[in-house]
Structure 1
Amino acid sequence: MTILAFAHSKGGVGKSTLCLLIASELARSGTRVLIIDADHLQQSCLQWTERCRAANSLAATLSTEPASKPDDLKRILKSTKADIVLIDVQGSMHDLLIAAIVASDLTLVPSKANVMEMIETVKLFEWATILKRAPLRLVLNRVDGIDTNTTAFRDAVRMIREHRLPALPTFVRARKIYEQFTRDAGSLHHIARDPSKAEQVVKARANILGLIADITAAIDLPASKDGSE
């Protein structure tokens, strides 16, 4: 079993959406995926699963369970038969965040590429150094096409280098189609049934599959079976 955590010290960085995108791609390949929704205030993943189930768009191998304290997390991890577990943690420093990071094979830290977000990201990486087992990787998230040419982006990259933050090479681009996905689509592939969205879906899936390939290179994670698409 492979365990991935999605964590940050603050909300609004897009970690739940990223968790769902990765989970849906892995589940579509037939992998048994469990999302542990450890953000008991928002429960974004749990609510998404319920909406998709109602819309009959949820992959058969994808499920979600809530966790509100470390004991819940331990119990679920001990009993699950999933191949891959993704833990979405509330955006603040607390015991459940520690438990998720320590339990994971890799913790993804999504962040927007600006100085304000990067300051908080640096704090999380520095705080995590006190843990005995804390393999963290930064993921630049919601990157607009023009962002890479801005001073804000260059300043963020400089902070990453100065603080030697380990980052995955794939940027997750900002895409309107992700908004449709988070309603009740179940997967990006499901959206492609609309021919007008097919090209957008191809680009979006390629982006997420690229990120999964990065994760696969970092840990022994089964790649999506149709990752060549």
Structure 2
Amino acid sequence: MTILAFAHSKGGVGKSTLCLLIASELARNGTRVLIIDADQRQQSCFQWVRRCDAAGSLPSTLRAEVATKTDDLKRLLRDPDADVILIDVQGSMNDLLIAAIVASDLTLVPCKANVMEMVETVKLFEWAQVNLKRAPLRLVLNRVEGIDTNTIAFQDAVRLIRENALPALPTFVRARKVYEQFARDAGTLEHIGREAAKAEQIAKARANVIGLIADITAAIARPHEP
């Protein structure tokens, strides 16, 4: 079993959407995926699964449960029917975030490439390094617009990553309109791709997610490499 956590000390960084994109792509290929929604306020992942189930678009090997306390999380992590467990936690420092990081094979920390969000991200990495004996965190640059890489703001964010030696996955998650449609009740990106006009967009979006999954697999296989 593989356990991935999606965590940040602040909200609005795209954790839940990223979690769902990875979960649905894995489930599309037959992997038995359990999402543990540990966001006590929004439960975005759990609600998405319910919407997709009602719409008939939910992959058959994807399900979600809610954890409101650490005992819930520990119990759900023992699920014998899951090949991969994804934990989505609330965007704040709390006991569930700590428990998720410690339990995971890898914790993904999504962040937009701007200085304001990067400063908070640096603080989370520093806190984890000081306070947790086991903290396999990896930064994921998320919602990257096509022109972002040419901007001073992006270069400033990259400078902060390098100066603080933050371990980052090489694949950027691009900002895409189809991700917004997916987040309603699409179930999978492939489901949206049935619309001929969106086939090319979906192919690029899926390639982006698949590239990120490959990075995650490689990072888990080499846990001590940056």
Q: TM-score range by the shorter chain?
A: over 0.9
1:96-127 alpha-carbon deviations (Å, 9 max, x no partner):
10000000000000000000000000010011
Partner of 2:199: 198
Aligned partners of 1:146 and 1:4: how far apart in 2?
30
Aligned to 1:22: 22
User: What SS does structure 2 have at the residue aligned with 1:48?
Assistant: helix
In structure 2, C-alpha distance between the alignment counterparts of 1:141 and 1:151, rounded to whole Å: 17
Separation in 1, partners of 2:5, 2:78: 16
**Per-residue Cα deviation, 1:134-182 (whole angstroms, up to 9, x for no partner):** 0000000000000000000000000000000000000000000001000
TM-score (norm 2): 0.96
Supply the AA of the counterpart residue of 2:72.
D
Tell me the residue number matched to 1:224. none
Partner of 1:136 in structure 2?
Answer: 137
Deviations 1:53-82 (A, max 9, x none): 011000000000000111100011123420
1:43 matches 2:43: yes
Unaligned ranges ≥5, structure 2: 222-226
1:227 matched to which residue of 2?
none
Output aligned runs, 1:1-229, within 5 Å.
1-129=1-129, 130-220=131-221
2:218 partner letter: A
Mapped to 2, the partners of 1:148 and 1:23 lie a distance apart of: 27
SS at match of 1:79: coil
CA distance in 1, matches of 2:77, 2:216: 20
Structure 1 distance, partners of 2:172, 2:111, is: 10
Secondary structure of the residue that 1:92 maps to in structure 2?
Answer: coil
RMSD: 1.0
Q: Residue 22 of structure 1 aligns to which amino acid in structure 2?
A: I
Q: Which amino acid aligns with 2:160?
A: M
Taking only the aligned residue pairs, the percentage that are identical comes to 79
CA distance in 2 between counterparts of 1:68 and 1:17 reads 20
Residue identity in the other structure for 1:179? E
1:86 offset after TM fit, Å? 0.2
Residue 8 of structure 1: SS of its match in structure 2? coil
The offset of 1:40, in angstroms, is: 1.4
Structure 1 stretches lacking a partner, 5+ long: 221-229
Deviation per residue, 1:84-105 (Å, 9 max, x gap): 0000000000111000000000
| Alignment coverage as a number of residue pairs | 221
Measure, in 1, the Cα distance between the counterparts of 2:42 and 2:49.
13
Aligned-pair CA distance for 1:132: 1.1
Partners in 2 of 1:133 and 1:17 — Cα distance?
A: 26
SS at match of 2:78: helix
Shift of 1:21: 0.1
Deviates more, 1:179-188 or 1:71-80: 71-80
Q: Kindly state the Cα deviation for residue 219 of structure 1 after the two structures are TM-superposed.
A: 1.4
